[in-house]
A and B are shown apart, each in its own frame.
Chain A
Amino acid sequence: MNTNSEQTDTTMHEMVEELLPWYVTQSLRSSESDLVREHLRHCEQCRGEAKLARTLYATAYSTKDFESELDNDYADRTYDEINARIDALPSKPKFRRILKKLIPSWGHPTNWIPSVLAIQYMVIICLGFYLVSHNEEKVVYNALSAPRSAEANIVVVFQHETTITEMQEILQKNGAKIVDGPTASGAYLLSVSDKHIVPVIAHLRQEKTLIMVEPLSSMDGDHR
């Protein structure tokens, strides 16, 4: 039991010894001050330490006023110098000040995270709006056949022995494009300009490699 009590006293003594300088300058919390005061009552060694601390404090205090006057003169003399140095500095960018007003925590080393997160969320929201508003954008593919939007208006059937080169020549010559096919029966659906459908059909019918050439919709009088 005695050993425990001695240990506690030693710990308390060490703790108080560490705190003494700030006890003397009265910059401890009141709970710490009370602890030190209580310990000083019965600790001769700590009272000796406190005496040294008081000597240091008294010395510092007595030199302070004298030094202050010298240093005040120094500050008065050097203010113009530092003012000139500030004049020579490049002025702070205006946008940074505006940003600072908009986001008060901007520039604070420990408070920058909320600002960054806010900006990040704003960017994500803007990107979301952008994606939604551009959702209907049409994608154009350059495929072998005509685009999906082109409507077939002629159906043709080539002879079996017709080569691909021959087919390509006939189609290019008449400005026709394959829209679909071949179907199970070997037919191809072609798309040509409505204006030229009549002459194109006439030309295609003259091709020996074509077994059948028929318009898909009934042609009006103009076409005929």
Chain B
Amino acid sequence: MIEERNAEIKGARLPKREKEGANWHETTLIKRIAENEDRDAFKILYLMYCPRLVQFLRKLSRNVPLIEDVANETMLIVWQKAGSFNHTSKVSTWIFSIAYRQCLEAIRKAEEPVEMNLEDSLAPPEWEPEFGANCSQLKKQIENALYTLSVEQRSVIALTYYHGMSYEEIALTMNCPANTVKTRMFHARKKLKVLLSAYQKGES
């Protein structure tokens, strides 16, 4: 399914020369959006990034309408501000940093609690039943334990484990020093360790 999709994205209406050489990449897409308002390039970028953004944002909030709004708003900003992409970072870092800022703002406006109680975290997830049905108990507990962390700590965990970013890229995305990223990860891990060991003891 994923392979089919990648083929679909790659096969979108790209100039023959670029298709043949397969040398088109994300910066080319951004350039084409900025210079020519190229909708085909935007569609490719949207199909590549929207799922990744939703996945990332889901780790930051459980509010599904908020996640969808932020993902779409982020991609709209990408369309409008493609010309301001300065090529000093990866396209992914730039897009994720927009999503991160937008999400923090949306959470603040929605007055959502950024941290939840341990009791809440151990409750079964209600936000996506189909997701829960397909996951093991451990996965569910990790997912729930994540929501006991601060939104900044959750972001570091999500960007590290779910999106494979280095700590330098995360620092750029979250606009903070690399040492802050390491500290956030350190505290997040300590907290998760306590929660998971409590869960494992309870299970045994």
Chain B, range 35-87, C-beta contacts under 8 Å to A: 35, 37, 39, 42-43, 46-47, 50-52, 54-55, 58, 68, 72, 75-76, 79-80, 83-84, 86
Interface 9-residue window, one of A2-10, A84-92, A136-144, A158-166: A84-92
In whole angstroms, how far apart are the Cα atoms of A56 and B169 in the complex? 20
In whole angstroms, how far apart are the Cα atoms of A85 and B77 in the complex? 11
B79 and A86 within 8 A (CB): yes
Q: Smallest CB-CB separation from B86: which chain A residue?
A: A108
B134 interfacial by beta-carbon distance below 8 Å = yes
What's the tally of chain A residues with a CB closer than 8 Å to chain B?
A: 49
A130 interfacial by beta-carbon distance below 8 Å = no
B34 interfacial by beta-carbon distance below 8 Å = yes
In whole angstroms, how far apart are the Cα atoms of A110 and B87 in the complex? 10
In whole angstroms, how far apart are the Cα atoms of A25 and B156 in the complex? 13
Which one of B39, B52, B83, B157 lies within 8 Å of A100 (CB-CB)? B83
Chain A, range 180-217, C-beta contacts under 8 Å to B: none
B160 and A75 within 8 A (CB): no
Smallest CB–CB gap between A141 and chain B, Å? 54
Smallest CB–CB gap between B75 and chain A, Å? 6
Which one of A21, A65, A101, A107 lies within 8 Å of B2 (CB-CB)? A65
A22 and B86 within 8 A (CB): no
Which one of A17, A65, A107 lies within 8 Å of B186 (CB-CB)? A17
A71 and B51 within 8 A (CB): yes
Chain B, range 1-35, C-beta contacts under 8 Å to A: 1-2, 5, 34-35
Interface centre among B34, B134, B138, B161 (most CB of A within 10 A): B161
Contact A68/B2 with A27-B166, A52-B193, A59-B142 known, Cβ cut-off 8 Å: yes
Smallest CB–CB gap between A112 and chain B, Å? 10
B198 interfacial by beta-carbon distance below 8 Å = no
Please, which residues of chain A bring their CB within 8 A of the CB of B46?
Answer: 75, 79, 82
Smallest CB–CB gap between A132 and chain B, Å? 38
Please, which residues of chain B bring their CB within 8 A of the CB of A52?
Answer: 189, 192-193, 196
Contact A75/B47 with A59-B139, A64-B55 known, Cβ cut-off 8 Å: yes
Smallest CB–CB gap between A29 and chain B, Å? 8
B5 and A72 within 8 A (CB): yes
B164 and A27 within 8 A (CB): yes
Please, which residues of chain B bring their CB within 8 A of the CB of A57?
Answer: 161
Q: Smallest CB-CB separation from A111: which chain B residue?
A: B86
In whole angstroms, how far apart are the Cα atoms of A6 and B84 in the complex? 50
Do most interface residues of chain B lie in helix, strand or loop, or is the interface mixed?
helix
Please, which residues of chain A bring their CB within 8 A of the CB of B162?
Answer: 60, 64
Q: Smallest CB-CB separation from B1: which chain A residue?
A: A69
A148 interfacial by beta-carbon distance below 8 Å = no
Contact A62/B139 with A25-B160, A69-B1, A92-B37 known, Cβ cut-off 8 Å: yes
Q: Smallest CB-CB separation from A96: which chain B residue?
A: B83
A109 and B86 within 8 A (CB): yes
Interface centre among B39, B80, B84, B130 (most CB of A within 10 A): B84
Q: Could you mark each residue 114-148 of chain B with 1 if its beta carbon is under 8 Å from any beta carbon of chain A, else 0?
A: 00000000000000001100110011001100000
B101 interfacial by beta-carbon distance below 8 Å = no
A67 and B161 within 8 A (CB): no
In whole angstroms, how far apart are the Cα atoms of A27 and B131 in the complex? 28
Tell me the B residues contacting A by CB distance below 8 Å.
1-2, 5, 34-35, 37, 39, 42-43, 46-47, 50-52, 54-55, 58, 68, 72, 75-76, 79-80, 83-84, 86, 88, 130-131, 134-135, 138-139, 142-143, 157, 160-162, 164-167, 169, 182-183, 185-186, 189, 192-193, 196
- List 8 contacting pairs A-B, 8 Å CB cutoff, sorted by A: A21-B161, A55-B138, A59-B139, A71-B50, A71-B54, A75-B50, A86-B39, A86-B79
CB-CB nearest 9 A-B residue pairs:
A71-B51, A75-B50, A60-B161, A27-B166, A18-B182, A108-B86, A107-B83, A71-B54, A60-B162
